[in-house]
Chains A and B, each alone.
Chain A
Amino acid sequence: MHFADNVDYPALLGRPIVFLPLLALLFEALRWWNFAATAIGRGLTGLFSLTGLTPAADNVAVAALATVVVGFNLAVVMRLKLRRQVYIVWLELAALILVFFYSFNLSFDFIARKIGFLITQGLVMTLYISLVSIAIASILALIGAMAKLSSNGIALGVANFYTSLFRGIPLLMQIYMIYMGLPQLGYVVGAVPAGIAALSLCYGAYMTEIFRGGIESIPKGQWEAARALGLKPNATLLRIILPQAMRVIIPPTGNQFIAMLKDSSLVSVVGVWELMYLARTQGQSEFRHIEMMITASLIYWLFSILLELLQGRVERYYGRAHAR
């Protein structure tokens, strides 16, 4: 919707030639899948008391019912305002995911017992590692981008080697190398600092390229105007070029932050008690792995959503000069 045309094309789903075959396809898929035997299917069967006939007839009835529900839902949502459509579709899909999780017959009692520790130890450690790494990676990226754009051969060489090495080796390997390799050089490093170092270096390398691209996207007239006014190089970069480049830098950087939040789980391999590590170990005693995995996943998701919202705010701030 960034630059909408002034043509009211008929909604794709509003055309019977699309809508009806789509429903037919859905019905056929549900029947083939034997939907009546799934958790959701059983729920529907119970809800509408459709039982009693043969399993095959049940299957057809449930598939038809589900198809009608989906079709009716689409027909209703299609007639709403855009913003409402987005919210409703989002909530419906989220509800489907939760039903999917619910169908695992989870022990909520077990989750309730463990979630406190998962948050106070696991989530706190995950956030600590992620936030520190994000801060260091941003600084590394800015330095890396400036080095890559400089006319200093040594800086250029170091920066090129840095991005090549840390983008080219798996993050897991980097964590092992720093944790187990540094002691070979006589410096014993803790598991948490090693994890932060690996995450910062790896994401700093990716973000170097993002920052470089953002800075290069600013027309050279901006540099010239700043120079002609007598601004020195640092002031030109920090006060004129970077604030404009932020518009280009923020969206992919938001991606990186979200990816890092989840990649911080790799640090669990060196025994750091962060969210993923606890999710794997806490379930072991009572053999309730899936409870812990789902709980941890939902916590990761929740904090990814928070980062998305934050990204939206920052984007609006740097885009305010372009808002009409």
Chain B
Amino acid sequence: MSSVITVAPMPADEQETTTPAVEIRGLHKWYGAFEALGGVDLTVAAGERLVICGPSGSGKSTLIRTINALESFDEGEIRVDGIALTREPGTVEAVRQRVGMVFQQFNLFPHLTVLENCALPLRLVRGLPAPEARERALHYLAKVRIPEQADKFAAQLSGGQQQRVAIARALAMEPDLMLFDEPTSALDPEMVKEVLDAMVQLAAEGMTMVVVTHEMGFARQVADRVIFMDRGKIVEEGPPQTFFTHPREARTRAFLQQVLRVH
């Protein structure tokens, strides 16, 4: 990481006074006999940058996908901005309007132009008139530095550009919380940086972020807290300084050795 933007840690007093962005208590999920989540407790404060890492199949993607109800859960409770997440349409819609998400595979809508990708949800969900939706979409495309691609289709962009459009599309909804599910894992190496830069900038602006990633450089630079998951449980958590230099658990040490050797 060579970005010049530095991210100030969150002031401690702010943490206590505001409602947590996410509160998860005793979360369990099974796929048949397989336990995907085995009793997860997690609180994400407003403004916090949380990085979740862990081996594949550890449940980290499943966990963040439960936060906006893309995955169901079997036991426990989730509150997002104080709203208890149930299966009722009202609560799910309320939560999804507050939570933006960026996927590993970008998931841009291929039949729409870049601009329409960002503007259509604004019209359909926020009820903005077309000119305002367009204006706001352009504003956020400028933020991720690709306003000039607005009239292209997704397939005409590089992977890094597509992922930045996906970030702009989520941001245009002006969410309180952003979820990133391995946002750089499907990218060619030379495109990772442009996406991470956009995320670093977002963090610097104070966005609450939950990021599943193997980019340990990003975690070191941006995260307030790093969580290590294995077999559906949180094994270890801590601020990045102690997490990377003095991991307590053997499993964490083994995992860090693996990813740091690669990156």
Contact = CB atoms under 8 A, between A and B. Distances in A.
Nearest to B96: A230
Interface stretch (A99-107, A165-173, A221-229, A291-299): A221-229
Interface in A220-265: 221-222, 224-232, 235, 239-240, 243-244
B105 interface: yes
Contacts of B124: 231-232, 235, 239
A318 interface: yes
Nearest to B105: A221
Interface residues of B, number: 29
Contacts, number: 67
Given A224-B103, A235-B124, A239-B124, A229 B96 contact: yes
A81 interface: no
A37 to B, nearest CB: 59
A321 B107 contact: no
Contact of A230 (B97, B109, B112, B153): B97
Interface string B107-122: 1111110000000110
Contacts of B101: 225, 228
A79 interface: no
B103 A221 contact: yes
Given A221-B103, A224-B70, A244-B111, A229 B155 contact: no
A230 B111 contact: no
B110 A322 contact: yes
A299 to B, nearest CB: 36
Indicate the member of A221, A224, A227, A228 with the most B CB atoms within 10 Å: A228
Interface string A298-320: 00000000000000000000101
Interface string B157-195: 000000000100110010000000000000000000000
Interface of B: 68-70, 93, 96-97, 99-101, 103, 105, 107-112, 120-121, 124-125, 153-156, 166, 169-170, 173
22 contacts: A222-B107, A222-B109, A225-B101, A225-B108, A225-B109, A225-B166, A226-B121, A227-B69, A228-B101, A229-B96, A229-B100, A229-B121, A230-B125, A231-B121, A231-B124, A231-B125, A235-B124, A235-B125, A244-B109, A244-B110, A318-B111, A320-B153
Interface of A: 221-222, 224-232, 235, 239-240, 243-244, 318, 320-322, 324
